[in-house]
Homo-oligomer: A and B are copies of this chain.
Amino acid sequence: MQEAIMNRPNGAACQPYDPRVSNFPRQLWWVAAHSAQITADSLVSRKLLGVDVLLSRRADGTVWAIEDRCVHRGLPLSMGWKQGDEVVCRYHGFRYDTEGKVTCIPTQNACPKTARVDSFPVVENPPFVWIWMGDPAAADPAQAPDFAWLRDPGWVWASRHMNVRSNYMLLKENVLDLTHFPFAHKSTFGALDDYESAAEFSYEDGVVTFVKRFMDQPLSPIYDRDLNLGGRHVDRIDMGKSISPAEHFFTATIRDPMREEPYLFRFQHLTTPQTNSSHHYWWVISRNYGLDPHPGEWFEQIASTAFREDKEILEAIQLRLNESPDPTRMPEVSAIADRGGLLARRQLRHFLEREQASAT
């Protein structure tokens, strides 16, 4: 079975992401925003999975999300204004509650039952707001990922939101194959890490995992920063996991023979499709050591510089796909190190098929 879906290095394969076709599951919790991006005063409009979504916050602090399109004559509701917890359309003043129901048509007494737009289940697990854009009945808030350690004072972290003009799967594949470091990040991570050969990959229960071990050796500078082991030999084990099309998780576990508890350094890559050829990307970088003094700007800069390098690469690839008369015929030769990326395609197929099965 795995053979059937793998591209073999010596086989003929083609680009699988056709910008004319969408490739995202809906029955899934996706990141909609950073908590701090949504306030009670503002109306945030954001295209998610091809749908224009309006995000705001109630007076009680809870986040809500509805379709950002007035059911009357189609004006984006985000052009209107808040009135208490409700939103008023700027054209003829239709008023919507946080469930998307029209509660007031200013020129008449009653509102027809059909006067409503879709509302979307949201869960806020700070620092992220998650959204469910599939069948609302199937939404289980307990399934929305929660990065609890980011709320633990024993950790330090930084996170940013980027808009990348490529299919989100290009980023998923990017973070599953870190052998691009010495080339794409020659001037940033490249000098700092050691991904010259492929990691070990596995696939189980819809999760892609890779592991790479750096045993009994000095720590590479990016992890050593603010730790100052002075070249002492340690074990470092990197583990990356594509948990779902929405979520990728990476931990470097550093075991120092002089210390019982491991040092942990994490990267998360959270992707949400915007259109077929663009996506939202939130990254998080965190660690449980070197908190004082706070790593400050360096912590954020190292990641955002490197991720801008990735963005430039992914967008250049996507541009060619967009311009091609037939993107599905662009040949693609895979290497051994692509096993992770190819498993991510398998994972995606798994999620799409599961969704299709549940729909019938």
Interface residues of A in 156-212 (CB under 8 A from B): 170, 173, 177, 179-180, 182-184, 196-198
Identify which of B10, B106, B173 contacts A182 (C-beta below 8 A): B106
CB pair A107 B10 closer than 8 Å: no
Q: Given A113-B10, A313-B90, does the pair A107, B196 have CB atoms closer than 8 Å?
A: yes
On chain B, the residues within 8 Å of A183 by CB distance are 80, 88-93, 106
Evaluate contact between B107 and A173: CB separation under 8 angstroms. no
- With contacts A73-B332, A88-B183, A335-B92 taken as known, whether A198 is within 8 angstroms of B317 at the C-beta atoms is no
Q: Name A22's closest neighbour in chain B (CB-CB).
A: B325
Complex: A102 Cα to B10 Cα, angstroms: 13
**A334 touches which one: B72, B88, B313, B320 (CB < 8 A)?**
B72
Bound Cα distance from A74 to B14, whole angstroms:
10
**Contact B108–A72 (Cβ < 8 Å):** no
- Determine whether the beta carbon of B75 is less than 8 Å from that of A179: no
Bound state CA distance, A69 and B90, in angstroms?
42
Chain B residues positioned under 8 Å from A196 (CB to CB)? 106-107
Known: A74-B317, A316-B79. A330 touches B69 (CB 8 A): yes
For the complex formed by this chain, how many copies does it contain in all?
A: 3
Q: Does the CB pair B321–A74 fall under 8 Å?
A: yes
A106 contacts B179, CB within 8 Å? Answer: yes
Given contacts A93-B182, A183-B88, contact A75 B330 (CB under 8 A): no
Instruction: For the complex, count residues of A whose C-beta is within 8 A of B.
Output: 55
Whether the pair A184, B90 counts as a contact (CB closer than 8 A) is yes
Chain A binding surface SS class:
loop
How distant is the Cα of A182 from the Cα of B79 in the complex, in angstroms? Answer: 15
Say yes or no: is A235 at the interface (Cβ < 8 Å to chain B): no
Q: Are A92 and B9 in contact (CB under 8 A)?
A: no
Is A105 in the interface zone, CB < 8 Å from B?
yes
Contact with B along A1-37 (1 / 0, CB 8 A): 0000000011110010000000000000000000000
Q: Which of A68-119 contact B (CB under 8 A)?
A: 69, 71-76, 79-80, 88-94, 102, 105-108, 112-115
Q: CA A184 – CA B330 in complex, angstroms?
A: 43
Q: Say yes or no for A331: interface residue by CB 8 A criterion.
A: yes
CB-nearest residue of chain B to A197: B107
The CA of A69 and the CA of B332, in the complex, are separated in Å by 10
Q: Does A302 interact with chain B (Cβ within 8 Å)?
A: no
Residues 323-334 of A, flagged 1 when their CB comes within 8 A of B and 0 if not, give: 000000011111
Residues of chain B within 8 A (CB-CB) of A94 are 335
Contacts of A182 in B (CB 8 A): 93, 106
Assembled-state Cα–Cα distance A177/B10 (Å):
54
Interface centre among A105, A173, A196 (most CB of B within 10 A): A105
Question: Smallest distance from the beta carbon of A237 to chain B beta carbons, Å?
Answer: 19
Check: A59 CB closer than 8 A to any chain B CB: no
The reply to whether A71 and B113 form a contact with Cβ atoms under 8 Å apart is no
Between-chain CB contacts (< 8 Å), 10 pairs: A10-B113, A71-B333, A72-B335, A73-B170, A91-B180, A92-B337, A93-B180, A94-B335, A107-B196, A114-B333
For the complex with contacts A10-B112, A52-B320, A114-B333, 12 further pairs of A-B residues with Cβ separation under 8 Å are: A74-B330, A74-B332, A79-B313, A89-B183, A91-B184, A93-B182, A94-B335, A102-B333, A107-B197, A107-B335, A108-B336, A112-B333
